[in-house]
Chains A and B, each alone.
Chain A
């Protein structure tokens, strides 16, 4: 079980990072989602997986059965999934609007928030440095 989880996590993180490095805005969003799921699994991993015994107290006992699953990381993962889902929705809409506004998927070509270069003149240079 541990081995399977480790392999799954590393595959998801690898795929996520690979997609994140791409220049296509939708691939980046999918990469972030995959990476997020991988990280969620890491947190889930903190709760001693590999046991089938649920974290429920037997009647008239005060201590969990030995090797029962820890419920806290599951609660944490649940929170993280909800937050991640909201952010994923936001990212998808953001990507869709960007594609609609610019007409292409290329992140590298997004230059509108940078200093504009008009007629080859660098907007950042002081006027003294420009040829008369």
Chain B
């Protein structure tokens, strides 16, 4: 029941918002996304008390009906997504301009709904459909006010993402032909004939390729820095914070529970190393805040892929922890950049400055998130990285681990670049500091407190994740 509500709530709000405007629209979205937080938290509690929840639609017996499945991992992911969604909706309510707002509210909500659905999809074709909905919503948001640079960015995003979904569809068709099933669990528990057992890893690899394109792994990430920076900053907070991580979540779930990806783990590890290095080097080069953070998305996807490539239960725990941390921190950083833009009117670091004096609270909040992103102990980013590196050293992949540490160093460089340029440097002449709406400051502050809490008390989350990954990589649940 909770599964269905958490899916239908954003989707119903999305369709309703086409018919209402003004105050009613705004309050409807605020209430709906706050209710979503409550529903997902309830779902998390239910999975802890009663075990994994499953919902098979259409009155068909399992494995023929379309199944939604949520264990603690999906529920935790959904909680963090709904938190970000609420923060982004608050920003949208404050910042939206009246003319086209109902359309954008609807697209945001359908994006939230699609993310919810992907987190709990347990059926390959259903997964494909929700990825398409996600793609369509992002395209709608990306077009924005249809200025030339938006259209250009949309084209770049569209071509590569559509290629990804087409690959995914082909893989789904081939997997269905080989196994006769679409349900994750049915494929995982199937007795394979020798012929099918040979084919299935190849089809799984095609699916993996499609997902790698979706999450922006090397060398398939060209669409990400080419398009993300044209989005309004609070939409970018949701899109950049959540979308790529959901793709990694699906890869992790498929590799742990459904397919045997052991053919690809070495390749994935090297891809992860190149992805994290190229992302962070791109970030070091740029001066636009949005581009810097967009390139950091790529480098963090590399970290997460490293966790997939290590392919053990300990690595899965570390990757999930890092993913949850990254969704919150990344989105919060984008929102903080939004506040910087609100107060100074620029994204270009060379034209910013003096914020440490003008807005001390903003400076503290940024510092908290930046330290988390770099992974300085005892911040939330530290624990995920620490567990991941520990596992990499334990499995004797020294080169991968050292590359990851080097990436951390370069991340520190670009975060301190932002700190020095935007906060410490004196305010450039002729720039006026505008006030920030108080509610937005509170939103960012609340997220930062949450990130701080995750860093200081990671133990409950780690225990939760540890208890959930028991069935991964052939382990008994």
| Cβ–Cβ < 8 Å partners of A97 in chain B | 146, 151
> Within the assembled complex, what's the spacing in Å between the Cα atoms of A27 and B148?
20
Q: Which residue of B lies closest to A17 (CB)?
A: B163
- Please give the distance in Å from A86's CB to the nearest CB on chain B: 7
> Within the assembled complex, what's the spacing in Å between the Cα atoms of A87 and B135?
10
Contact with A along B122-163 (1 / 0, CB 8 A): 000100110010011001000100101111111110110011
- Please give the distance in Å from B140's CB to the nearest CB on chain A: 9
- Please give the distance in Å from A113's CB to the nearest CB on chain B: 4
| Cβ–Cβ < 8 Å partners of A102 in chain B | 148
Among candidates B146, B152, B177, B350, residue contacting A113 with C-beta atoms closer than 8 Å: B152
Contact with B along A119-132 (1 / 0, CB 8 A): 00001101100000
Is B230 at the interface (CB under 8 A from chain A)?
yes
The answer to whether B155 touches A42 (Cβ under 8 A) is no
Interface residue count for B (Cβ, 8 Å)? 40
> Within the assembled complex, what's the spacing in Å between the Cα atoms of A46 and B158?
27
The answer to whether A115 touches B227 (Cβ under 8 A) is no
Is B260 at the interface (CB under 8 A from chain A)?
no
| Cβ–Cβ < 8 Å partners of A73 in chain B | 173, 176
| Cβ–Cβ < 8 Å partners of A36 in chain B | 162, 166
Is A110 at the interface (CB under 8 A from chain B)?
yes
| Cβ–Cβ < 8 Å partners of B148 in chain A | 98, 101-102, 112
Is B288 at the interface (CB under 8 A from chain A)?
yes
Is B169 at the interface (CB under 8 A from chain A)?
yes
- Please give the distance in Å from A98's CB to the nearest CB on chain B: 5
The answer to whether A98 touches B129 (Cβ under 8 A) is no
| Cβ–Cβ < 8 Å partners of A101 in chain B | 148, 151
Among candidates B152, B159, B288, residue contacting A32 with C-beta atoms closer than 8 Å: B159
The answer to whether B286 touches A46 (Cβ under 8 A) is no
> Within the assembled complex, what's the spacing in Å between the Cα atoms of A91 and B155?
8
Give the interface of B toward A (CB within 8 A): 125, 128-129, 132, 135-136, 139, 143, 146, 148-156, 158-159, 162-163, 166-167, 169-170, 172-174, 176-177, 226-227, 229-230, 285-288, 350
Give the interface of A toward B (CB within 8 A): 20, 25, 28, 32, 35-36, 39-40, 42-46, 72-73, 76, 79-80, 83, 86-87, 90-91, 94-95, 97-98, 101-102, 107, 110, 112-115, 123-124, 126-127
